[in-house]
Structure 1
Amino acid sequence: MLSEVVVKKIEKNIYELCKDYFSKEALQELLSGYDIEDLCRRQSKSCTELLVNYLDNEDFLKKREKEIILNGRKIFSLGVPIAVFLDLFEQINNRISNILDSEKVPKEILKKFRKLRMEFLNIISLGFLWASLEEREKLAESIPSESRRLFTEFISIFKGITENQFSKVEKKLEELEREINKLFITVLSSPGDFRCNIFSLFKLIKHYIFLFKKFYSRNNFTAYIIYEQTVDFIEKLINCYYVLTTKKAVTDLEKLIEFSLKNREENWRLIIIDPSEISFINKVYGFAVGDEIFKKLLKVVSMSFHEDEETAVFKCNEGIVCILTRKLLKKDFSDLHLKLERKIRKKLVSLDVKTHILDLFIPKDCPNVLPLEELKEIVPILIRESKKEEKRYARYNLCNLELIKKAVHFLDFQNYVVEKLKNGDVSIAVQPIVNLQNGKVEHYEVLFRMIDRQKNIIPAYEIIDVIFDLKLIHLLDIAILRKIVRNIDIFKKNNINSIFVNLSPNTLKVEGNLKEILNLLSQISKDLNLGVEITEQALLEEHEILKSLLNKINVPLSLDDFGAGYSSFSSLLKIIESLPLKFLKIDGSYVKNISNSNNSKILVQTINAMAHSLNLKTIAEFVENEEILKLLKELGVDYGQGYYLGRPELFIP
């Protein structure tokens, strides 16, 4: 149909166009390692041959279909974007069209040429599509396992359409939609700076999949473009899904509380699971162990509560796991902590992890007894109170007026304590530490006291938890030291010449405190024999900070509550070797039982003997009667402290 001259002209133009096109610097990298001239020569010959044979017999294209698809695969594997291929393809077609017009070929040939253009693009697009599907399947191996299945399912949907398995495609889409809908509450209550609209993404993906189905086979080029755009949406959805389902985003507990309180058109149940001692475990065993415990807890909780559009599990701040649900409203969870602990022990045999649970019911049909901001402040109080429950489980109804009244009263008390601390308004009490061998008072422990609005002394146990929970212990420590400095003369006047003060390592971590503490301790130690009392847990957690401080001032340390919690000889040796430890306080829980428990007596005897072998003086707490005092003397304990020997007395109001 075409003369030999026209055929050669077309072949030459395709070759020159191809060579010029790929000589551009931006495209040379795509075909590095290839002989561009040889490649273009072969392609121009192949294209011209295809054109000539198609014009003679349209069935020729079908015979070459596999070869064309293979070419599409090769072009894709080279990393040539479809847009680049289409640009070159259109330029070649325009050049051929111009040649055919200039040669005034019959209209029938022009019509066949346009048809060839469309059919060729339709076939070669299949090569791009199938190669891309295969590449995405391989790519799935690098996707985190938590979201890999979802990605693979989406890719299999496209493959299903290409294989005409439409019923399977619809079924898979329905399953995926159910999977996504499980995240309803998780997404709804996610923090605004993280929230991703996974539902809109899924709706968009679903729409594009139906478009792909519509165009596939009829217009494969358009189908391929739709497919690539859909994969972009799928990758965004997968990232979102991964963060939501693996709890990579930490949800602010306060925001979760705010969400459930604001959305009162439905009943909500908020279950807060708080693993105890995580911060200490992080310090003693390393953050890897603490993280492992938290991950196991999160996994066990997620498995125990099947997440759906009604229930969501969250990784909350402060190492807490939260469950928010609008079903399971009547289910009894009073033994949930025991079940969780059993499951965690199976995975982490060496660590006995305890959990505290606060179970909050937030009903829709209750009036707003308090403004939202005050309700938000009450919930942390309830969390603290729940930790005092022996059962380690507490359930509260936020519509219970009696509960609200108590919480409001405590909130007022908390605000009062905070105000007093910020103003440094604390009182000092002292308790004698008696030499058990001669009966003389040799030291005093300085204790804080706080006076309420009615001028009564507030018991320390009512205040100390609030101070630690609000992270205000540094204000208390500084206030006590300042008060001692201001009243040194009163101490000396009353023959109190040797004192121990309690100091929290958290105080040393507050920026700007260290210099003042050094100054205050130095001033006190000039006039009084001063010792610093600190718990073993605190010593282990902030060992380096204390070491740095005590290198600058010569004051002895007293180790408080030895025998409680995580006490071990190895940790004691570490402390003795690096810090000026001179006294060891035997935990009062053993001391008060030595008269009726042989095990407690043996423990006190063992701790005392071990301390003496390390040149440490021992102090027994909780000396509450004559019998305990007598036994301590027999065991050779150096000092005693307790109500029988002397109660704490308000010394400086």
Structure 2
Amino acid sequence: MFERLKELNPYAEEVFANFYSKILKRGHLSKFFKSEEQIRNLCSKQKKNILDSFGENEEELRERYSRLSELHIKLGLSYSDYIEAFNFLQDEFTKVLSREGRLQELIEDLHTYFENIRHITAYGYQSALIKGNKSYFESLKQAKVEFKPLAYLYNRMEQDMKGIETGDIGLMEKQGYSCPVCEWFSSLEAKMMIPDKNIHEELINIHLQTHTIYDSLKYYLEKKLFIQSYQLRQLFINNVLFSTSKLESIYSSFKEEEDDRFLRLLRNSGEKDFVFSIKIDNLPLLTELYGKNFKISLTGKAKKILEDKLLKNNFVTIFKNDEIVGFVKDMPPEELSGVLEYLKKDIEQTEDGEPLKLKIIAFNAMFCNEPCYPKKFEKVKTFIRGEAKDRELYIAYIKEDIEKIKGILQSETQKNRYAISILEKDRLEIFFQPVMGLRTGKIYDVEALVRLKENGKYISAYMFIDQLYEAGHITELDIKIFEKILKYSNRLKGITKRVFINISPISLKSQELREYLKKAIMRFKDDDISLYIEITEQVVFENVDIVKYLSSYYGINFAVDDFGTGYSSLKTLADLAEAEAISHLKIDGSLTKRILESEEIYKIVKSISSMAKSLGLKTVAEFVENEKMVKTLLELEIDYGQGFYYSPALPIDELVQKYQQ
């Protein structure tokens, strides 16, 4: 094909001498070589390779440089470096031809030869790029098939890669701007998952850019212009990776805040906007009997029916353990009733004959125009289910129903506002309850407890804390607790070397609270006091990795509170103890209270004591109320006790007066 280029053979020595000195030895490509001998060997091989390829036909040339591309990719040579080498050689041969007066004679063949090499190389690098991303996209496809936009993108990438590998460009169909992802971005579900309008618009624009790039990419592939297609391929994959990464992050964030996002979507609802709840009797049990696919199939079928019967972009659903909760816009109640009745009959007629019962309620969503929190929402659903009585399909939309719902919400809103006002007006104080050594009778540590000032007296803050949870202000409370405790650090050091504090699982994930934690740990350390965080047994086992991380990187000590009433994994407990993430087990007060009257409880506490000792953990019995309890706990080798037998929770002044060493 390029027979005439053999006439360049006499000048090859000169060209490759320059290639050796200017590119391989002195240029940045020298980093790929360990010795001078390696550089010379490569230069000789490249010279032989070029000279041997002069005169080869197109197929032979493709085979040669495809093989060399694979080799250089394995060596880590970038496409730019590879092309720079070819460009240099072409320029050097061009200079020789110009000097010898043969430029017009051979310049076209020389240009075509090197252009072919560049395209063959680009195709090889493009194939490697696709193979490198293929397993990644396949793994993502498996992991996130439940989220439609991601599932679609992964399927498209898989089809596209198959088209490149097989050379069948027809597999890469032109999608236009009405693809499922574009449609999804305009749906209620997208608005629920991406409440920030700027982020929503940014993702739409990036996705539309991906369409434009893809259409151009397909054009260049069809024309076999692989240099251009390689550059576009990189841009295309980067765009898709950015989009999928963003969508994955959005999806993960949404799953953590699903209830809140759903309820925010309901604001500004009108008379024809409805919430519906579909409860499937015994679904958790049936899922356990028939496997996870049973639930996936059932909920998938329900969503498909809703998609077919409702306007696709006008409704959204979220899934609970045994419940499908949805929101539909602009639908008369009579029409919605027909859709839900159809769904009920269809789902209850399962193919395997397994008896299913659906109980469906729906109600006007206008009540959510006021701030609505998850617990409020649950109370409204409970109320509507009560109104439904034995009816398996009930829609509340008449004026009386709405007024009753509003009454419930107004009551809850007032409670939440009251709780928030207490927080804002700082009507809180920290009391401290001593934990005593059962054998020594001496103070071992103190637990910080929140008390609420009401009519000149301090009372328990349990109800107040629940309302703050519901209103989403619990982390603010935990931060305020740390602020107050820090003020008492200097006074506590004469009483104990350990302070235990309860914080919520939500606050564990708060960066702001972790900053206060670090500050508190350092401050207490200056006063020779160790800070311990109490979290319940359930929270520990639902947040194992977070507990380990905070223990390792922040130096936080953890105690397992209310131990003995949950469903602990002993292996997980052992792992946390071995990692020194937990140091104390606080035995639930309900066990301590019954230890004198129940042989079974006695055995449970004995087992806890034995297990704790084997793991090197200290044990604390809560709700110790009398001397008989103390003697029994000593028999069981429990280390410490806490309760009214020793002392109630005390304000700092009384604590100092009573226990100052």
TM-score (norm 2): 0.51
Q: Deviations over 1:51-81 (max 9, x none)?
A: xx36xxxx74554232223222333343322
Which residue in 2 is equivalent to 1:214? 219
Larger helix percent: 2
Moved more, 59-68 or 191-200: 191-200
Which residue in 2 is equivalent to 1:329? 336
Which residue in 2 is equivalent to 1:629? none
Distance 1:466 1:338, change over 3 A: farther
Alignment of 1:156-305 (within 5 A): 156-157=159-160, 159-160=162-163, 165=168, 168-170=171-173, 173=175, 177-178=179-180, 181=183, 184-192=187-195, 199-216=204-221, 217-239=223-245, 249-262=255-268, 268-272=273-277, 300-305=298-303
Which residue in 1 is equivalent to 2:587? 547
Distance 1:312 1:73, change over 3 A: farther
AA partner of residue 547 (structure 1): I
Distance in 2 separating the partners of 1:244 and 1:218: 38
Q: Deviations over 1:122-180 (max 9, x none)?
A: 23222223343344445444434126775354343355378675655338x48992476
SS of alignment partner, residue 85 of structure 2: helix
Alignment of 1:400-439 (within 5 A): 400-415=398-413
Distance in 1 separating the partners of 2:563 and 2:278: 24
Alignment of 1:606-625 (within 5 A): none
Distance in 2 separating the partners of 1:410 and 1:263: 18
Distance 1:231 1:321, change over 3 A: same
Distance 1:329 1:79, change over 3 A: farther
Q: CA deviation at 1:214?
A: 1.7
Which residue in 2 is equivalent to 1:69? 66
Distance in 1 separating the partners of 2:360 and 2:402: 19
AA partner of residue 14 (structure 2): K
The question of whether the paired residues in 2 share the 8 Å contact of 1:274 and 1:321 is answered with yes
Which residue in 2 is equivalent to 1:110? 107
AA partner of residue 604 (structure 2): K
The question of whether the paired residues in 2 share the 8 Å contact of 1:270 and 1:325 is answered with yes
The question of whether the paired residues in 1 share the 8 Å contact of 2:86 and 2:114 is answered with no
Which residue in 1 is equivalent to 2:49? 46
The question of whether the paired residues in 2 share the 8 Å contact of 1:268 and 1:325 is answered with yes
Q: Deviations over 1:345-384 (max 9, x none)?
A: 999x9xx9x998653444xxxxx7x793357797454134
1:314 and 2:321 matched: no
Distance in 1 separating the partners of 2:603 and 2:339: 47
Q: CA deviation at 1:118?
A: 2.1
Distance in 1 separating the partners of 2:202 and 2:297: 24
SS of alignment partner, residue 173 of structure 2: helix
Distance in 1 separating the partners of 2:94 and 2:21: 16
SS of alignment partner, residue 326 of structure 2: strand
SS of alignment partner, residue 407 of structure 1: helix
The question of whether the paired residues in 2 share the 8 Å contact of 1:125 and 1:220 is answered with yes
SS of alignment partner, residue 362 of structure 2: strand
Q: Deviations over 1:244-283 (max 9, x none)?
A: 789973344333233233375x9544334689999xx9xx
Q: Deviations over 1:445-483 (max 9, x none)?
A: xxxxxxxxxxxxxxxxxxx999978769xxxxxxxxxxx
AA partner of residue 140 (structure 2): I
1:124 and 2:127 matched: no
Distance in 2 separating the partners of 1:121 and 1:469: 68
SS of alignment partner, residue 170 of structure 1: coil
Which residue in 2 is equivalent to 1:574? 604
Distance in 2 separating the partners of 1:332 and 1:180: 27
The question of whether the paired residues in 2 share the 8 Å contact of 1:187 and 1:197 is answered with no
Distance in 1 separating the partners of 2:81 and 2:302: 52
Distance 1:3 1:402, change over 3 A: closer
AA partner of residue 253 (structure 1): D
Distance 1:555 1:315, change over 3 A: closer
1:20 and 2:25 matched: yes
The question of whether the paired residues in 2 share the 8 Å contact of 1:141 and 1:148 is answered with no
Distance 1:396 1:575, change over 3 A: farther
SS of alignment partner, residue 193 of structure 2: coil
Q: CA deviation at 1:221?
A: 0.5
Give the superposed CA RMSD: 5.9
The question of whether the paired residues in 1 share the 8 Å contact of 2:266 and 2:368 is answered with no
The question of whether the paired residues in 2 share the 8 Å contact of 1:191 and 1:252 is answered with no
The question of whether the paired residues in 2 share the 8 Å contact of 1:212 and 1:226 is answered with yes
The question of whether the paired residues in 2 share the 8 Å contact of 1:359 and 1:393 is answered with no
SS of alignment partner, residue 314 of structure 1: strand
Distance in 2 separating the partners of 1:276 and 1:471: 29
TM-score (norm 1): 0.52
Q: CA deviation at 1:227?
A: 1.5
The question of whether the paired residues in 1 share the 8 Å contact of 2:122 and 2:226 is answered with yes
Q: CA deviation at 1:43?
A: 1.2
Which residue in 2 is equivalent to 1:642? none
Distance in 1 separating the partners of 2:9 and 2:368: 90
Instruction: Report how many aligned residue pairs link the two structures.
Output: 446
Unaligned runs of 5+ in 1: 363-367, 426-463, 473-506, 516-536, 560-567, 584-653
Distance in 1 separating the partners of 2:412 and 2:254: 33
Distance in 2 separating the partners of 1:138 and 1:397: 50
Distance 1:198 1:301, change over 3 A: farther
Distance in 1 separating the partners of 2:314 and 2:464: 35
Distance 1:60 1:542, change over 3 A: closer
1:6 and 2:11 matched: yes
Percent of matched pairs sharing the same residue = 10
SS of alignment partner, residue 276 of structure 2: strand
Q: CA deviation at 1:234?
A: 2.5
Distance in 2 separating the partners of 1:571 and 1:271: 44
Moved more, 102-111 or 147-156: 147-156
Q: CA deviation at 1:203?
A: 3.0
Q: Deviations over 1:202-235 (max 9, x none)?
A: 4333322221122223421101111222122233
Which residue in 2 is equivalent to 1:84? 81
Distance in 2 separating the partners of 1:574 and 1:160: 63
Distance in 1 separating the partners of 2:364 and 2:57: 74
AA partner of residue 43 (structure 1): Q
Distance in 1 separating the partners of 2:361 and 2:600: 36
Distance in 1 separating the partners of 2:59 and 2:81: 25
Distance 1:392 1:466, change over 3 A: farther
Distance 1:67 1:386, change over 3 A: same
Distance in 2 separating the partners of 1:21 and 1:122: 27
The question of whether the paired residues in 2 share the 8 Å contact of 1:294 and 1:319 is answered with no
Distance 1:187 1:311, change over 3 A: same
Distance 1:36 1:332, change over 3 A: same
Unaligned runs of 5+ in 2: 428-461, 471-500, 508-531, 534-561, 569-583, 609-620, 626-661
AA partner of residue 101 (structure 1): S
Which residue in 1 is equivalent to 2:154? 151
AA partner of residue 8 (structure 1): E
The question of whether the paired residues in 2 share the 8 Å contact of 1:557 and 1:582 is answered with no
Alignment of 1:93-104 (within 5 A): 93-104=90-101
